[in-house]
C-alpha cells in the first residue's frame, strides 16, 4: 500500500497472493470438495404430477341447478382434508411400502408429515365473470397433483393413486350431497304432509263443531233470527185473538144452563128420565112442605120416583136442588117483606126451604161437582168445548213462542260466537295455507333436487377430468447439483480469499523494504533476493504440477458426476451451442 496515496498497488496484491496462496488453495479445495460431495451424494428426488381439468356441468344451469353450490376452492380444500387424513395416508404408505427404512427411527406422525411434505396441490386460475355477482373474478379451472419420491416409479404410482382418490372423492362427495339434500327434502315433505293432514282433520272437526257459527253462515243466522222474530210476533197476535175469543165464549157460557133441557118444535120442554127424576124430587120437596107424608099424592109421587130411580139409577141432583134453594130463598125474602112472617104462603115457603136445605146437608161434599163436570146441555157443551180448544190453542201458541225464543237464543249465540270462531278458523286456515305453500315450495325443491341427483349419478354435473396423467419422471427435480456446485465454488472462493486476508492481517512480519524502512526509520540501501537451490526449485515445480493434476482431476470428476447425475455432456454442449447461436 502506498502511504502517500493510500492505494493498493498491483505488486502488493501479487505479494499477498504469493504468500497466502497455500491457505487460499487449502480452504478453496476443502469447501469446494465438500459442496461437490454434497451435490452428488444427495439422493435424487423425482416428481410425478397429474393435470386435472375442472369441467362445468354438461346441462346448462337454466335447466338444471346443481346441488353443490360451493366454490371449487372450497371443495378442493374439503377433499384434501379428507384424503390427507391420517388413516387414508397410512393406507397409501402401507400399500406402496413407503419409508420402510424410516419406520424404526421415526414415529408414525412424523412419517405422515413426511408424506404430506412430499405432496403438493397447485390450482390454475383464469379471469372469468362470476355468474352469481356478474363481476370479474378469478376462478379455478384446473389443478395439478404431484408427489415427490426417490424412486420415479413410486412417485408415478402414488401420484396416480392420489389423482384417482381426488376424482372418486369428488364424485362421492357430490353424489352424497345430492342424496342428502334429496333425503332431507323428502323428510321435510313427509313432515309437512303429516302436518297438512292434521290441519285438515282439525279444520274438519272444527267445522263440524261450529257448523253454523262460521262467518259464511252469519247472514243466514241473521235472516233466521228475523224470521223467528216475525213468527213470535205472529204467535203473540194469535194469542191475543184467541184470548179475545175465549173471553167471548166464556161470556156466552155464563148465560147457558149446563143442565138445560131440550125444547120441542112447539117450544115445550122435552125431559128425559133423569130430568124427570130431578123434577119429581123437587116436586116431592114442595108437596112435603104442604102435605103430610101419608098423603096419597105424596105416596104416589114417591112410588113414581122409586120407579125412575130403578130405571136410571142414582143421579146427582144437588145442583138443581141448590139452584132451587137459592130461588126459594129469594122468593122467601120477598114474601116476608111483602106479606110478613106469619102469612100461610110464607110459612109454606119457609117449610119448603127448610126441607130442601136439610136434604142438601145430608149430601156428601163432592155432590154437585159431578153435575158441573158432566153437563147435559148441548149448547153449553159446544161452547165449553170451544173454550177448551181455544185454551189449548193458546197454550200451543205459548209453547211455540218459547220454542221460537229458544231458537232465537241459539241463533244469537251462534252470531255472538262468530268473531271468536272466525278468529280461530282464520288462524287454522292461515296455518294450513302456510303449510300448503311450504309443501309446494319443498315439493318444487325436491323435484329439482331429484333432477340434480340424477344428473350427478349420470356424471353430467361438474367433474374432474384428467388431461395429463402422472408420467414416469425421467429427471429428478432436486437436488440441483449444478447450482450446489456453483454455490460451493463461490463459497470456496470467498472463504479462501477471506481466510487469506485474515491471515495476512494477523501476520506481523516484515515483508518489504518500505516496511523495514518505516519501522527502523533508517534508509534501506539494498535487498538480497531469495536464493533457491536446485532441490528447492524441483520441489516447487513438483508442487505446482501436483496442484495442476489435482485441479484437472477435480474438474474431470465434476464433469463425470455432472454427466451421470445432472445432464449428459453432449446435451449440455448442444444447449450451449444453441444459446451462443442466439447471441
- Domains of the chain, by residue range, sit at 19-42+479-521+541-582, 257-376
What pLDDT, on a 0 to 100 scale, did the predictor assign at position 263? 44
pLDDT for residue 141 is more than 70: yes
Alpha-carbon distance of 381 to 332, in angstroms, equals 33
Quickly state the pLDDT bin for 3 (edges 50, 70, 90).
very low
Question: Is 575 buried (19+), middle (13-18) or exposed (0-12) by CB count in 10 A?
Answer: exposed
Quickly state the pLDDT bin for 262 (edges 50, 70, 90).
very low
Tell me the β-bridge partners of 119: 147
pLDDT for residue 268 is more than 60: no
Alpha-carbon distance of 479 to 211, in angstroms, equals 92
Q: What are the cell numbers at 195?
A: 302436518
Percent of residues, the chain, with pLDDT higher than 90:
10
Whether residue 479 is preceded by a cis peptide bond, meaning omega within 30 degrees of 0, is yes
Pick from 439, 509, 422, 437: nearest CA to 217: 422
Alpha-carbon distance of 360 to 319, in angstroms, equals 9
**Residues whose CB falls within 8 Å of the CB of residue 581, separated by 6 or more in sequence, listed in order:** none
Q: Which residue has the higher pLDDT, 463 or 576?
A: 463
Question: Is 245 buried (19+), middle (13-18) or exposed (0-12) by CB count in 10 A?
Answer: middle
- Cell 147435559 belongs to residue: 376
Q: Confirm if 421 and 210 have CB atoms less than 8 A apart.
A: yes
Q: What is the pLDDT of residues 22-43, one digit of tens each?
A: 777 777 778 877 877 777 777 8
pLDDT for residue 160 is more than 90: yes
DSSP per residue, 187-242? HHHHHHHHHHHHHHHHHHHHHHHTTT-SGGGHHHHHHHHHHHHHHHHHHHHHHHHH
pLDDT for residue 425 is more than 70: yes
Alpha-carbon distance of 412 to 224, in angstroms, equals 10
What pLDDT, on a 0 to 100 scale, did the predictor assign at position 433? 92
Quickly state the pLDDT bin for 164 (edges 50, 70, 90).
very high
What pLDDT, on a 0 to 100 scale, did the predictor assign at position 582? 62
pLDDT for residue 269 is more than 60: no
Quickly state the pLDDT bin for 12 (edges 50, 70, 90).
low
What pLDDT, on a 0 to 100 scale, did the predictor assign at position 237? 92
Q: What is the pLDDT of residues 104-124, one digit of tens each?
A: 888 889 889 999 999 999 988
pLDDT for residue 5 is more than 80: no
Q: What is the largest CA-CA distance in the chain?
A: 231
pLDDT for residue 427 is more than 50: yes
Phi and psi for 451 in degrees, rounded to 5? Answer: -65, -45
Quickly state the pLDDT bin for 291 (edges 50, 70, 90).
low
Phi and psi for 571 in degrees, rounded to 5? Answer: -65, -40
Average pLDDT over residues 346-367: 69
What pLDDT, on a 0 to 100 scale, did the predictor assign at position 476? 84
What pLDDT, on a 0 to 100 scale, did the predictor assign at position 19? 67
User: 83-97, 281-295, 444-458: lowest mean pLDDT where?
Assistant: 281-295
**Residues whose CB falls within 8 Å of the CB of residue 146, separated by 6 or more in sequence, listed in order:** 47, 48, 49, 50, 119, 120, 121, 122, 159
Pick from 300, 313, 306, 308: nearest CA to 276: 308
**Residues whose CB falls within 8 Å of the CB of residue 482, separated by 6 or more in sequence, listed in order:** 39, 562, 566
Percent of residues, the chain, with pLDDT higher than 70:
74
DSSP state, 215?
G
Alpha-carbon distance of 575 to 17, in angstroms, equals 37
Average pLDDT over residues 131-154: 83
E strand intervals along 463-502: 463-468
Q: What are the cell numbers at 422?
A: 272466525
Tell me the β-bridge partners of 127: 138
Tell me the β-bridge partners of 148: 47
Q: What is the pLDDT of residues 517-552, one digit of tens each?
A: 676 767 766 666 666 677 877 887 887 788 778 777
What pLDDT, on a 0 to 100 scale, did the predictor assign at position 451? 80
pLDDT for residue 348 is more than 50: yes
Q: Confirm if 51 and 456 have CB atoms less than 8 A apart.
A: no
**Is pTM beyond 0.75 here?**
no
Highest mean pLDDT out of 23-27, 68-72, 160-164: 160-164
Q: Which residue has the higher pLDDT, 201 or 337?
A: 201
pLDDT for residue 461 is more than 60: yes
User: 95-109, 545-559, 562-576: lowest mean pLDDT where?
Assistant: 562-576
pLDDT for residue 6 is more than 60: no
Q: Which residue has the higher pLDDT, 257 or 73?
A: 73
Quickly state the pLDDT bin for 161 (edges 50, 70, 90).
very high
Q: Confirm if 31 and 492 have CB atoms less than 8 A apart.
A: yes
Average pLDDT, the chain: 78
Q: Confirm if 150 and 45 have CB atoms less than 8 A apart.
A: yes
E strand intervals along 100-162: 119-129, 136-149
What pLDDT, on a 0 to 100 scale, did the predictor assign at position 434? 92
Average pLDDT over residues 406-416: 86
Amino acid at each position: 500500500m502506498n502511504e502517500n496515496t493510500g492505494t493498493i498497488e498491483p505488486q502488493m496484491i501479487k505479494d499477498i497472493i504469493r504468500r497466502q496462496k497455500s491457505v487460499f488453495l487449502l480452504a478453496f479445495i476443502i469447501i469446494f470438495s465438500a459442496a461437490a460431495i454434497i451435490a452428488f451424494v444427495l439422493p435424487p428426488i423425482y416428481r410425478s404430477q397429474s393435470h386435472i381439468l375442472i369441467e362445468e356441468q354438461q346441462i346448462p344451469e337454466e335447466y338444471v341447478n346443481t346441488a353443490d353450490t360451493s366454490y371449487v376452492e372450497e371443495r378442493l380444500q374439503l377433499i384434501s382434508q379428507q384424503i390427507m387424513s391420517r388413516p387414508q395416508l397410512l393406507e397409501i404408505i402401507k400399500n406402496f411400502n413407503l419409508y420402510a427404512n424410516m419406520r424404526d427411527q421415526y414415529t408414525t406422525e412424523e412419517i405422515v408429515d413426511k408424506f404430506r411434505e412430499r405432496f403438493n396441490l397447485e390450482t390454475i386460475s383464469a379471469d372469468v365473470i362470476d355468474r352469481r355477482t356478474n363481476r370479474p373474478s378469478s376462478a379455478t379451472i384446473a389443478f395439478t397433483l404431484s408427489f415427490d419420491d426417490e424412486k420415479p416409479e413410486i412417485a408415478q404410482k402414488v401420484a396416480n393413486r392420489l389423482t384417482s382418490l381426488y376424482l372418486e372423492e369428488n364424485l362421492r362427495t357430490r353424489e352424497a350431497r345430492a342424496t342428502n339434500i334429496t333425503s332431507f327434502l323428502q323428510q321435510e315433505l313427509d313432515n309437512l304432509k303429516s302436518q297438512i293432514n292434521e290441519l285438515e282433520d282439525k279444520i274438519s272437526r272444527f267445522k263440524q263443531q261450529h257448523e253454523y257459527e262460521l262467518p259464511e253462515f252469519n247472514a243466514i243466522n241473521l235472516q233466521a233470527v228475523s224470521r223467528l222474530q216475525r213468527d213470535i210476533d205472529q204467535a203473540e197476535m194469535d194469542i191475543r185473538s184467541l184470548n179475545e175469543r175465549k173471553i167471548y165464549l166464556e161470556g156466552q157460557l155464563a148465560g147457558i144452563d149446563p143442565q138445560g133441557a131440550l125444547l120441542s118444535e112447539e117450544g115445550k120442554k122435552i125431559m128425559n128420565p133423569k130430568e124427570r127424576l130431578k123434577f119429581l124430587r123437587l116436586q116431592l120437596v114442595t108437596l112435603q112442605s104442604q102435605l103430610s107424608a101419608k098423603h096419597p099424592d105424596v105416596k104416589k109421587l114417591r112410588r113414581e120416583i122409586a120407579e125412575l130411580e130403578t130405571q136410571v139409577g142414582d143421579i146427582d141432583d144437588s145442583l138443581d136442588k141448590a139452584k132451587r134453594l137459592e130461588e126459594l130463598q129469594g122468593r122467601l125474602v120477598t114474601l116476608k117483606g111483602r106479606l110478613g112472617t106469619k102469612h100461610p104462603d110464607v110459612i109454606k115457603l119457609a117449610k119448603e126451604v127448610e126441607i130442601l136445605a136439610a136434604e142438601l146437608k145430608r149430601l156428601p161434599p163432592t155432590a154437585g161437582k159431578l153435575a158441573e163436570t158432566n153437563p147435559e146441555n148441548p149448547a153449553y157443551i159446544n161452547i165449553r168445548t170451544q173454550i177448551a180448544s181455544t185454551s189449548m190453542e193458546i197454550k200451543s201458541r205459548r209453547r211455540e213462542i218459547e220454542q221460537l225464543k229458544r231458537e232465537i237464543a241459539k241463533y244469537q249465540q251462534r252470531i255472538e260466537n262468530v268473531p271468536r270462531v272466525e278468529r280461530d278458523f282464520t288462524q287454522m286456515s292461515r296455518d294450513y295455507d302456510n303449510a300448503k305453500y311450504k309443501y309446494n315450495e319443498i315439493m318444487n325443491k325436491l323435484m329439482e333436487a331429484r333432477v340434480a341427483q340424477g344428473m350427478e349419478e349420470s356424471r353430467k354435473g361438474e367433474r374432474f377430468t384428467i388431461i395429463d396423467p402422472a408420467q414416469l419422471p425421467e429427471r429428478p427435480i432436486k437436488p440441483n447439483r449444478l447450482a450446489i456446485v456453483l454455490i460451493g465454488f463461490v463459497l470456496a472462493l470467498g472463504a479462501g480469499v477471506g481466510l487469506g486476508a485474515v491471515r495476512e492481517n494477523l501476520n506481523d512480519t516484515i515483508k518489504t523494504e518500505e516496511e523495514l524502512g518505516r519501522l527502523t526509520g533508517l534508509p534501506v540501501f539494498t535487498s538480497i533476493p531469495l536464493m533457491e537451490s536446485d532441490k528447492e526449485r524441483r520441489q516447487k515445480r513438483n508442487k505446482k504440477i501436483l496442484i495442476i493434476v489435482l485441479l484437472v482431476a477435480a474438474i474431470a470428476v465434476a464433469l463425470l458426476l455432472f454427466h451421470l447425475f445432472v445432464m449428459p455432456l453432449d446435451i449440455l454442449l448442444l444447449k450451449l451451442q444453441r444459446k451462443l447461436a442466439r447471441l
